[in-house]
Amino acid sequence: MSKDNLEYIAQLVYDSFEIPIFIWDQQRQQIQQIGECITSPLFDSREHFIKQLIELEALKDTPLLHITNYLETFIIIHVSSNNVIIIGPFTNFQMTENSVDALIHDYRISRQYQAQLYQYYSHLQLLTQKQIVSLCSLTYFLIYREPLDIEQIRSQIFHLDTIENRQTEQEIRTLRLEHDFHLDHQIEQKIWQYVKEGKREKLLAHLESIEMDSMSRLSKQSHVRNMKNQVIIYIALATRAAIEGGLYPEIAYTMNDISIQKVEEAQDLQKVFLIGDSLLLALIDRMNENKMSMNSKLVNMCKNHIFNHIFEPISIHDLAQLVHLNPVYLSQLFKKEVGIPLGKYIQEMKLQEAQQLLLQTNHSIADICMMLQFNSQSHFTSLFKKFAGVTPKQYRKK
């Protein structure tokens, strides 16, 4: 693309969003600047900072979002081997004087910069996450004449740090602790509703509209602590919503705990507020994979008991006592609702757990057989082959 065309596109984007745009060549030389850019008083050199942005690892032709610890956002697009576009700074936080004071506190910034920082943040354009996606999409289309895959941007906004199934499965075998927090009622109800109903796209749209700094402050001094508290709040809310939607409680609470641990350990502010969004989407995905379905309360009680006590002997008589029903009637009710006999369901859940243990641990086949309370290894192998189509040893080698 010619230099003139690139400058023309940059001007169109600036006219639409009024956010400064820089065009640099691969020799790290600035070609053009569109719009007035107020430089942060914390930068020793704006040019040096932008050169650092250009060095960030990114796929060619894919917009890269970068959020600084000072809550400034930049978009970097490597247009070709010769040119790079930098859009920014802007922010997606409502930066009040209290917010700025919290940043000063967190990063031990000299108070001599306080007035300059107030002025700097007051001049930054405020964009919602939806507007950020639109900005990336418009710029991309003008450059390449084809639509941008929005998931490329959403994945940067909402999927910074995924929760691996193996990590969840490995920790799920320990007792979980429930967390109890509170959030603005309307925001809580929408998050609760979309997670509970498994509506991934509606949740994404709702998250794009949330301004984290518009919520109540849970730490007066520290912006980082406040962000961590807010993220922990809706992790806890979404966990309860996923359980209401049918996700097994032990899965939900394990994912809850893993995410909260990551939030507490995170030092990068960008990572802190993206971990929570990633957890919400992961909960929906796991819920749709593992939900207990729309069975009666008694059947769900049995299914949850089987899940939680998978490493213990489980009998139909024990389950009947749990729900205060006759064993024969419970078996008939379970088969009517689930479609398979209760005894076979218990067996299949144990065999599914055996599959996970074979793939995710180094336990011997004999140990797995004993852990899951099968009568003998030969009996276990026979049942497993009938269930999975291969022997346990063959399954582990897959």
CB 252 within 8 A of CB 242: yes
Check: CB of residue 184 under 8 Å from CB of residue 211. no
The predicted structure's pLDDT at residue 176: 32
pLDDT bin (cut points 50, 70, 90) of residue 168 is low
| Residue 155: pLDDT band with limits 50, 70, 90 | low
Domain over 297-396 is classified CATH 1.10.10.60: yes
Beta carbons of 167 and 132 less than 8 angstroms apart: no
Tens of pLDDT, residues 320-350: 999 999 999 999 999 998 899 999 999 999 9
Tell me the pairing of strands 64-67 and 30-34.
unpaired
Q: Mean pLDDT lowest for which of 13-17, 28-32, 201-205, 343-347?
A: 28-32
Question: What is the distance between the alpha carbons of residues 103 and 155, in angstroms, rounded to a whole number?
Answer: 27
Q: How far apart are CA 77 and CA 57, in angstroms?
A: 11
Q: What is the mean pLDDT of residues 122-128?
A: 88
Q: What is the 3-state secondary structure (H, E, C) of 157-217?
A: HHCCCCCCHHHHHHHCCCCCCCCCCCCCHHHHHHHHHHHHHCCHHHHHHHHHHCCHHHCCC
Q: What percent of the chain has pLDDT over 90?
A: 22
Instruction: Flag whether pLDDT at 172 surpasses 80.
Output: no
Least confident of 72-76, 175-179, 257-261, 262-266: 175-179
Burial of 139 (0-12, 13-18, 19+ CB in 10 A): buried
Residue 189's pLDDT is what? 76
- Distance between CA 128 and CA 132 in Å, rounded? 6
Q: Which range scores top for mean pLDDT: 106-115, 180-189, 304-313, 368-377?
A: 368-377
Hey, is 2 helix, strand or coil?
coil
Q: What is the mean pLDDT of the chain?
A: 79
Choice between 212 and 222, residue whose per-residue pLDDT is larger: 222
pLDDT for the residue numbered 174: 42
CATH of 3-156, one of 3.90.1150.10, 3.30.450.240, 3.10.450.50, 3.40.50.170: 3.30.450.240
Q: Where are the domains of the chain?
A: 3-156, 159-290, 297-396
- pLDDT class for 97, splitting at 50, 70, 90? confident
Kindly report the length of the chain. 398
In 3-82, DSSP assigns E strands to 21-25, 30-34, 64-67, 73-78
Residue type, 352: Q
Q: Which of 189-193, 199-203, 206-210, 369-373 has the least mean pLDDT?
A: 206-210
In tens, the pLDDT along 294-327 reads: 678 788 888 888 888 888 999 999 999 999 999 9
Which of 69-83, 196-210, 219-233, 313-327 has the lowest average pLDDT? 219-233
Q: How far apart are CA 161 and CA 60, in angstroms?
A: 22
Share of the chain above pLDDT 70, in %: 79
pLDDT tens-digit series, residues 234-249: 788 788 888 888 787 8
The arithmetic mean of pLDDT across residues 172-193, rounded, is 52
